[in-house]
Amino acid sequence: MNTEIDTAIQVLKNGGIILYPTDTVWGIGCDATNEKAVAKVFELKKRTDSKSLITLVSDADMLCKYVKEIPEIALSLIEVNDQPMTIIYPGAIGLAANVIAEDGSVGIRIPVNEFCSKLIYKFRRPIVSTSANFSGEKTPAYYKDISMDIINAVDWVADPHLEDISTGRPSQIIKVSLSGEIKIIRE
């Protein structure tokens, strides 16, 4: 696994796009602080850049570096949640402009997947995670479901055996406000 992580990090540092397993479904990813790399992801997915992208961080400490103020309720949700959950936070900072939504918010998840967590921790920066499909097409649950066109379009592909902790389902998405208001976007 360490060799896979080191190779993926080199691709990310060079502005490349990776295809990798997360705790949910396979993701198309790049350095979430590199605007040119993020633009390549939008282009690959044939997706308009007016839609924001989910970003993965390794832990709460990394989360604090990319959100101005974390609502107290978000920390509670992270602690008690037992399934993959993406939280949309207000006040994104330090990320590529094209990762951030028009209202300044950003969707961030702390994945529970050994490969993914170690990759992000060792890379020391957040990674984009958008489903491994073209915009508008069905989200592939596992590696075997990913289109060869997607596989051939990325710069690096993780070993498919690393997906064993993936749920095969997209994460739930919850939007939180600084006042503690919660809005469920996707269950």
What CATH number has the domain bearing residue 26?
3.90.870.10
| pLDDT for the residue numbered 83 | 87
- What radius of gyration, in Å, describes the C-alpha atoms of the chain? 15
Instruction: Render pLDDT for 85-131 as a digit per residue (tens, 0 to 9).
Output: 999 999 999 999 999 999 999 999 999 888 999 999 999 999 999 99
Identify the pLDDT of residue 49. 65
| Nearest one of 115, 4, 108 to 61, comparing CA atoms | 108
Confidence band of 82 (pLDDT split at 50, 70, 90) = confident
- Domain limits at 100? 2-186
Residue 169: CB atoms within 10 A of its CB come to 12
How much is the pLDDT for 46? Answer: 87
The burial of 112, by beta-carbon neighbours within 10 Å (0-12 exposed, 13-18 middle, 19 or more buried), is given as middle
Closest CA to 182 of 99, 102, 111, 81: 81
To the nearest whole percent, how much of the chain has pLDDT over 90?
76
pTM of this structure: 0.93
- In tens, the pLDDT along 176-187 reads 999 889 999 988
Mean pLDDT score of the chain: 92
Number of domains in the chain: 1
CA atoms within 13 A on the CB side of 123: 32
Q: What mean pLDDT do residues 50-61 have?
A: 88
